Structure 1
């Protein structure tokens, strides 16, 4: 009999498992950009715990193992910033990332706090870009960080309608 994956609020006790999973999941991103100094790989346990205090996080569990996670926060303008959506490599391709993203969107829109959702990924992270587009996100900006990396910012409105795109990012 197989276990099902459950999604619940992240708590302080989950921080160590989340950090280990984050380190595993971001190896492919680091390799893609030849940059192993990216923030998800250098974040400390204390920094992650502080993130969980500042805004909600979710974890996906298979039994007692954390196999996915996402975090977010809402700023004063009503923009929900979603970050560090991760799914264990062996669990990818089964809709878990979409479930986590939908869950954090719902959590961030409680009390009508979020008017729009925003997230970002690297310009070469095609599977991430494909997932976000499939879920209604549209590119709204690109920032060149280095010769190897440009960050693509994507948004969608709370009602699910796509954010306005600029001509410079519409082709991404």
Structure 2
């Protein structure tokens, strides 16, 4: 019998595995935009550990191996910013990204009073945009960062049941 993938809160002990997975997963994004200086590829272990201690970080594990991760924070106005959703290439297109997205949304709403969710992705990242749209996100803006890269902002409101959990 095989091991199933579990989704749970990340711990500081996961930091090195998350950083290695992030480096692996963002290679395709760097190639797509011909920019290997993007922040996910230059982030330090120290900066990632700071995110783990301050934000909401969820991981997917296959046995002891971290095979996916996503991070989120919530602003004072209740806007959750979700970032760095990553899934190991060998496990992509099996629903794990959607599971991670739902898990971080649930935790941000329940534990940090998120009222809406916002995320960003590159304009050429069609798979990412498709995933986010299939989970209820709608594009609300685009910002050109460089000649080769525009970032698409997508948002959705937190579900009513998530608000009820806070009451």
TM-score by length of 1: 0.91
Which residue in 2 is equivalent to 1:56? 56
> Per the alignment, in what secondary structure is the counterpart of residue 132 of structure 1?
helix
Which residue in 2 is equivalent to 1:141? 141
Give me the whole-angstrom Cα distance separating, in 2, the residues matched to 1:67 and 1:86. 8
Report how far residue 32 of structure 1 moved. Answer: 0.0
Note the residue ranges of structure 2 that are not aligned, 5 or more in a row. Answer: 161-167
1:79-119 CA distance string (max 9 Å, x none):
00000000000000100000000000000001561000000
Report how far residue 54 of structure 1 moved. Answer: 1.2
Aligned runs of 1:77-96 on 2, under 5 Å? 77-96=77-96
Which residue in 2 is equivalent to 1:127? 127
Q: Given that residues 74 and 112 in structure 2 are in contact (C-alpha distance below 8 angstroms), is that contact kept between their aligned partners in structure 1?
A: no
Misfit runs of 4+, over 6 Å: none
Give me the whole-angstrom Cα distance separating, in 1, the residues matched to 2:52 and 2:81. 13
Report how far residue 159 of structure 1 moved. Answer: 1.8
1:2 corresponds to 2:7: no
Distance 1:152 1:66, change over 3 A: same
Distance 1:159 1:65, change over 3 A: same
**RMSD between aligned residues:** 0.9
Report how far residue 36 of structure 1 moved. Answer: 0.1
1:28 corresponds to 2:28: yes
Aligned residues: 160
> Per the alignment, in what secondary structure is the counterpart of residue 19 of structure 2?
helix
Give me the whole-angstrom Cα distance separating, in 1, the residues matched to 2:49 and 2:111. 24
> Per the alignment, in what secondary structure is the counterpart of residue 109 of structure 1?
helix
1:18-43 CA distance string (max 9 Å, x none):
00000000000000000000000000
Which range is displaced more, 103-112 or 50-59?
103-112
